[in-house]
Structure 1
Amino acid sequence: MPSLRSCVAVLALPVLAACAAADAGTTDWTPTDADWPVYGGDDGGRRWSALDGVTPENVADLTVAWTWETGDVPVPGPMRPIPGQDVRAGNFEVTPLAIGDTLYVSTPFNRV
Structure 2
Amino acid sequence: MRTFCAIAIVSSAVLLGAQGRQQVMIEWAQTGSVQSQTKYSTAADITPSNVGRLELAWQWRPKEMSLADQTQPGNFQVTPLMIDNVLYLSTPFNRVVALNAETGEELWAFDP
TM-score by length of 1: 0.57
2:93 corresponding residue in structure 1:
109
Deviates more, 1:67-76 or 1:96-105: 67-76
1:51 corresponding residue in structure 2:
43
1:94 corresponding residue in structure 2:
78
The whole-number CA distance in structure 2 between the counterparts of 1:68 and 1:103 is 11
The whole-number CA distance in structure 2 between the counterparts of 1:63 and 1:48 is 22
Aligned residues: 72
Report whether the alignment pairs 1:34 with 2:29. Answer: no
Give the letter for the 2:28 counterpart: W
Give the letter for the 1:45 counterpart: Q
Cα pair 1:39 1:97 within 8 Å, conserved: yes
The whole-number CA distance in structure 1 between the counterparts of 2:59 and 2:25 is 24
Q: Which has the higher strand share?
A: 2
Deviation at 1:111, TM superposition (A): 1.1
More contact order relative to length (CA 8 Å, sep ≥ 6): 2
2:57 corresponding residue in structure 1:
65
Unaligned runs of 5+ in 1: 1-31, 80-87
Give the letter for the 2:83 counterpart: I
* RMSD (Å) for aligned C-alpha atoms: 2.0
Q: Which runs of 4+ in 1 moved over 3 A?
A: none
Over the matched positions of the two proteins, sequence identity in percent amounts to 38
Deviation at 1:57, TM superposition (A): 2.0
SS at structure 1 position matched to 2:90? coil
Unaligned runs of 5+ in 2: 1-23, 97-112
Give the letter for the 2:72 counterpart: A
